[in-house]
A = this chain, B = another copy of it.
Amino acid sequence: MPRQALELFIPGPTWLRPETRQAALLPEFGHRDSQAREVVSSIFDNLRAIAELPDDYDIALVNGSGSTGMECALRSLVADDDRLLCVTVGVFGALFHSMAIGNGKQVERLDFEPGCSIDLDVLEHTLRNGRFNVVTLTHNESSTGVVSDIVGACRLIRAHGALPIVDGVSLFGGNHSRIADALPAVYATTTQKCLALPAGQAILFVHRDALDKAAQVSNRGYTSDLLKHVEFGRDRQIMTTPDTTLLNQMQVQLDTIVHAEGVLQRFARHRAMRATVRAWATARPDRFELFVADADASPSLTTVSIDPALDPAALKAAMRERGYLIDTGHKKLNDILGAQSRRLLIRIPHMGDIGPAMLDRYLDALDSESAALRR
């Protein structure tokens, strides 16, 4: 029996344009042949444009998910006797902490309240007393729908002599990366969020000083060795065998972003959709409440807490009947909120190639079904 086709309104993997899916049918190629270098070169040129990337950054593609890239950066930049600080505003900030523990690193955690962004005064206080070598932070925390001021945070981190590693997974391609102002040692992102591609490639933007540091770190592993990945990247190759179907899709999609839609237009579209969703939720106080203040609101997805009378699972089932796959909140975060007898969250993504008309149709359906379920 054929599977029901659902329109994905989840915060990754995101909905694919038909053209991106069709690009999967382009001819396969050998990953060490000249054709591969042409494809990777085109991908790198467009990634550089989307990132507004300074010249002293290398690009590397790493087979795997965003987590694979984040762990590669962590393992390659944090020596065993280094002190690492993981700044968290939600589940994905905490993921860096789990990775550090799993890799036997000496790590401390600075947690901010879910729904809030990084408080720079508190960060500075922590940095002043900690003598950290590396600090991780999350550009766009997709469990809470919070965007952080990575420029302010990275400048503080560098001022205290540490190297910042930024998780840009759910923001890159949806708004300015801010790499040129923030100067992170590594900025890690991936394909299946705002770039509106299937998952499968981690993307690393690597500053020169990250290479100097990695050269002093032992036990970087093999597939997690940042230096090897950058070496292959400089030769416009990928270290281990990549999925050439995905590379074909990346070439077409990134070219469309840069040369058809335009990078700034894309960013503006996402900001406009954020405004739409926030206005929509504000107009329905009986059922929805914004979880994040305007100043901290993510440009790629909006978190709303829901009326306790609304069962997220029932809402998901009703929306599935309408042909939509919705998000019922990050499970770990909702477990925490539930334990505190607080209202649960759902997430409304407006990232990738979701456009205003598509979003309006989705919000109309969500409005009807949520109203019907409360009757």
Contacts and interface: CB of A to CB of B under 8 A. Distances in A.
Interface string A46-71: 00000000000000000111111001
A357 B307 CA distance: 64
A12 B33 CA distance: 12
A112 interface: no
A293 interface: no
A259 interface: no
B325 A38 contact: no
A186 to B, nearest CB: 16
A22 B104 CA distance: 44
A72 to B, nearest CB: 9
Interface in A124-178: none
User: From DSSP, what is the main secondary structure of chain A's interface residues?
Assistant: loop
A29 interface: yes
Given A71-B222, A199-B63, A219-B104, A13 B28 contact: yes
11 contacts: A3-B29, A12-B241, A21-B24, A24-B25, A29-B325, A31-B199, A66-B241, A68-B223, A103-B219, A103-B221, A199-B242
A38 B242 CA distance: 25
Interface residues of A, number: 60
A192 interface: yes
Given A3-B38, A64-B64, A325 B30 contact: yes
A26 interface: yes
A71 B228 CA distance: 15
Given A240-B65, A240-B68, A27 B13 contact: no
Contacts of A104: 218-219
A41 interface: no
Contact of A221 (B13, B66, B99, B246): B99
A69 to B, nearest CB: 10
A313 to B, nearest CB: 11
A75 B210 CA distance: 24
Given A66-B241, A222-B67, A241-B192, A30 B10 contact: yes
A106 interface: no
A243 interface: yes
Given A3-B35, A24-B245, A33-B325, 7 more contacts: A8-B28, A63-B64, A64-B240, A65-B242, A67-B223, A75-B221, A98-B222
Interface string A1-20: 00111101010110110000
Interface in A202-256: 218-225, 240-246, 249
A198 interface: yes
B3 A30 contact: no
A200 interface: yes
Contacts of A22: 25
A223 B64 contact: yes
A30 B13 contact: yes
A67 to B, nearest CB: 4
A25 B25 contact: yes
Nearest to A327: B30
Contacts of A219: 102-104
Given A3-B27, A8-B30, A10-B30, A221 B21 contact: no
A68 B75 contact: no
Contacts of A224: 71, 221, 224
